[in-house]
Amino acid sequence: MTGLVIKKNADLFTIESRDGIFNLKPRGTLKKEGIFVGDIVEFDQTIESVLKRKNCLIRPPMANLDRIFIVLSSLPSPDFLLVDKMILCCFVKGIEPIIVVNKEDIAGNEFIQFVEKIYKNVAKIIVCSAKDGNIENLKKEINGICAFAGQSAVGKSSLINAILGEGVARIGELSQRIDRGKQTTRMVSLFKVSEGYIADTAGFSSLEVGMLVELEPREVARYYPDFLPYLEKCKYRSCLHKIVGDCGIIKNVQNGKISEIRYKNYLKIIDSLATKKR
Ligand SMILES: Nc1nc2c(ncn2[C@@H]2O[C@H](COP(=O)(O)OP(=O)(O)OP(=O)(O)O)[C@@H](O)[C@H]2O)c(=O)[nH]1
Ligand SMILES: [Mg+2]
Ligand SMILES: [Zn+2]
């Protein structure tokens, strides 16, 4: 039988399958460290094997993510460099990023339009408020395995709690408390919501942007959907889009078709990659 790992607790895994819910251990030679929440596994009396993953993250340990909600708010004001790094991570890992502007109740139209202008050609944008319970449009986007990311205090936990309801959310808070102090594994559980699952975690506040060091600077632009239409207009084959001339990217930053914030953050990202490589 095959099933989805929805929870990991010490060496016991909770598996959801067509035939019900099972709590199983891995077979002798299969290491428990090698099985993540989000994995599809083959099992009988024990977990026999893990099927090939679409992607996986290490902290918190999760596999096969489909969507990540990148939450931001007007207060605390956004760190767009962090947002752009998270978006890049998502595209590298084959995860769909969705920008969630939370705290609509305090945001103001100007702020929302500002965010829409930067990201309209990059990702889907939704606006909501955990405080007002205005989360219907967010719930509609839950499809496949989803998780929340974003800087501290933007409202990730509040949104997860609003979606899951009080009873469920409390379990999440408790599990985080148990794990505090150990910098390694945080407990993660998946909960079925509308068409998919959401991960009940503390949320990713950095989303493993560290893994970006593995990228070559010249690979970065191809993960920028907003740069893509202009990439072939770039005369230089291995252009990093740093030097004015026949660079199709810089031209379109100058004429306003590419967001200047996105472009400046792109430069910061490739420069930091180049420095780390040295
Ligand atoms: N006005 C307003 N405040 C909100 C909203 N959502 C969350 N907050 C408040 O923002 C603060 C931070 O919310 P959290 O849910 O703890 O934020 P978080 O992203 O989980 O933060 P970390 O766990 O530190 O990463 C709390 O005081 C919340 O009450 C909202 O929609 N509107
Ligand atoms: Mg939180
Ligand atoms: Zn160029």
Ligand 3 mean position, distance from CA 8 (Å): 46
Residue 278: predicted pLDDT: 57
pLDDT band at 147 (very low <50, low <70, confident <90, very high): very high
Alpha carbon distance 262, 62 (integer Å):
28
pLDDT at residue 183 in the model: 36
pLDDT of residue 184: 36
Pick from 213, 267, 209, 248: which is nearest to 83 by CA?
209
Q: Please tell me the distance between residue 158's alpha carbon and the centre of ligand 1 in angstroms.
A: 6
- From CA 89, how far away is CA 92, in angstroms rounded? 5
**Ligand 3 centre and the CA of 233: distance in Å?**
8
Which amino acid residue places its CA nearest to atom 12 of ligand 1? 153
Measuring CA to CA, how many Å separate 46 from each of 13, 20, 28, 62?
Answer: 10, 15, 9, 20
C-alpha to C-alpha distance for 13 and 41, rounded to whole angstroms: 10
Pocket test for ligand 1, best of 152, 158, 159 (most atoms within 8 A of CB): 158
Give the pLDDT of residue 213: 79
Taking domain 62-200, whether its CATH number is 3.30.300.30 is answered by: no
Least confident of 5-14, 153-162, 231-240: 231-240
* CATH superfamily label, 2-52: Nucleic acid-binding proteins (2.40.50.140)
Q: How far apart are CA 198 and CA 62, in angstroms?
A: 11
Q: What is the mean pLDDT of residues 208-216?
A: 79
In DSSP terms, 41 is beta-bridged to 3, 50
Residue 128: per-residue pLDDT? 98
Instruction: State residue 175's pLDDT score.
Output: 44
Closest to 199 (Cα-Cα) out of 72, 87, 37: 37
Tell which atom from ligand 1 comes closest to the C-alpha of 161.
Answer: 15
As annotated, the residues of the chain forming the CATH 3.40.50.300 domain(s) are: 62-200
pLDDT score recorded for residue 18:
95
Distance 33 CA to ligand 2 centre (A): 25
Does the Cβ of 75 fall within 6 Å of ligand 1?
A: no
Average pLDDT of the residues of the chain: 88
- Is the pLDDT assigned to residue 218 strictly greater than 70? yes
Model confidence band, residue 171 (pLDDT cutoffs 50, 70, 90): very low
**CATH 1.10.40.50 residue spans of the chain:** 215-277
Q: Which of 45-54, 164-173, 206-215 has the lowest mean pLDDT?
A: 164-173
CATH no., domain 215-277 = 1.10.40.50
DSSP characters for 80-140?
HHHHHHHHHHHHHHT-EEEEEE--HHHH-HHHHHHHHHHHTTTSEEEE-BTTTTB-HHHHH
The answer to whether the CB of 154 is under 6 A from ligand 1 is yes
Q: Would you state the pLDDT for residue 195? A: 82
Nearest residue (CA) to ligand 1, atom 21: 153
Q: What is the pLDDT of residue 58?
A: 80
Q: State the ligand closest to the CA atom of 132.
A: 1
